[in-house]
Amino acid sequence: METLWYILLLLMISTYLVLDGFDLGVGVLHLFIAKNRQEQKQVIQSIAPVWDGNEVWLIAAGGTMMLAFPAFLSSMFSGFYLPLTMVVWLLLFRAISIELPHYFSDSLWVHFWNIMLFVSSGLLIVILGAALANIFRGVPLNAEGTFFEPLWTDFRISKQTGILDWYTVLSGVTSASIFLHHGSLWLVAKTDGLVQQRARKCATSFWLTTVGLTIVTLIASYVVQPHTKENFATHSWLIFLPLGALFFLAGSLFFRINNWNMAAFLCSSFFMYLLLFSGAAALYPYILPGLNPEYSLTIFNTSPPPEELQTTLYWWIPGVILVGIYFTIMFRSLPKVISVISNQEHH
């Protein structure tokens, strides 16, 4: 039962990253890909109807984490107090910078919010990667299952880790590259004209950096988290998860070159899913490893008894099906391709 919820939670978190991933990517890219106000609108129009729904996955994942692994949420959220509060602030800024420019067409106002959107989305895509890397690497948990990490220590991975070290920074950069690649594929699939051409160029560059950085990060992860070696040695089939991820990454290039743009975007989504599942499989059954393995939090010592988890399934499964229906309606109601919006201003 715990394992099932581990997978369900992972599905929620990865769905959040895949969905919000493309709008975060677009939030950064819009500053370079759109050259005038019309193109700007075209780009933002591709994410404006959906970013809100995408972000709800984060809220729903938070709720799921609280009910399924309360001790994990308690330890992680209080331990990463400052970075998480800053994530909240960034999410807040990003939401208003997508929504507020509509109200006003003054160029200074629009420009300010565009820069805010760029900054908040950019910081978020780096921080999300670094945060996952912190969990993967492990934190200095004590016997009570709590910890508190300083922002950085000496950049190496030692007994007293910091939130930023070479590994977490590497992961942050990798995640930025993945999100930007993902975002450019969304734009390639959803726009036309000059914007699409520029997005195509971006996709090529970010595909290259993503391949390089992902391979380096996968190797680094294998080195940094000793538990990976045990899991992969005992269950050798797990190697298909990271290999599958790389396969889909290749697929995203193949389909894009052949102009199957939506297929390329979906490949990039599967790549992200498999990458996250690789990480989770490598940690299992740990959910927050301690630098001292004795104090590690596992899915078993952080969750309520299985009968409670089982009752939750009775409403959770219908809930997630309902969400699937909403999203199908939502994404199908979007225009297939968004063209440059005419000169007429609207509010």
Residues engaged in binding other proteins (CB under 8 A): 42, 45, 49, 52-53, 55-56, 59-60, 62-68, 70-71, 73-79, 81-82, 84-85, 87-89, 91-92, 95-96, 99-100, 103-104, 146-148, 303-305, 308, 311-312, 314-316, 319-320, 322-323, 326-327, 329-330, 333, 335-339, 341-342, 344, 346
- Tell me the DSSP string of 133-157: HHHHH-B---TTS-----SBSSSS-
Question: In this structure, what token pair is assigned to residue 232?
Answer: 């992969």
Measure the CA–CA gap between 199 and 263, rounded to whole angstroms. 16
Whole-angstrom CA distances from 44 to 1, 34, 98, 230 are: 42, 10, 8, 45
Residue 195 beta carbon to other proteins: minimum distance, rounded to whole angstroms: 13
Residue 298 beta carbon to other proteins: minimum distance, rounded to whole angstroms: 15
Residue 65 or 264 having the CB closest to other proteins: 65
Residue 240 beta carbon to other proteins: minimum distance, rounded to whole angstroms: 31
Residue 237 or 315 having the CB closest to other proteins: 315
Residue 120 beta carbon to other proteins: minimum distance, rounded to whole angstroms: 12
Residue 286 bridge partners (DSSP): 298
Residue 99 or 211 having the CB closest to other proteins: 99
Contact 173, 126 (CB under 8 A): yes
Residue 81 or 166 having the CB closest to other proteins: 81
- Residue 230, classified by CB atoms within 10 Å of its CB into exposed (0-12), middle (13-18) or buried (19+), is exposed
Residue 236 beta carbon to other proteins: minimum distance, rounded to whole angstroms: 35
Question: In this structure, what token pair is assigned to residue 143?
Answer: 């016997």
Measure the CA–CA gap between 147 and 101, rounded to whole angstroms. 41
Residue 236 or 344 having the CB closest to other proteins: 344
Residue 226 beta carbon to other proteins: minimum distance, rounded to whole angstroms: 25
Residue 244 or 304 having the CB closest to other proteins: 304
Which helix (H) or strand (E) segment holds residue 204: the answer is: helix 193-224
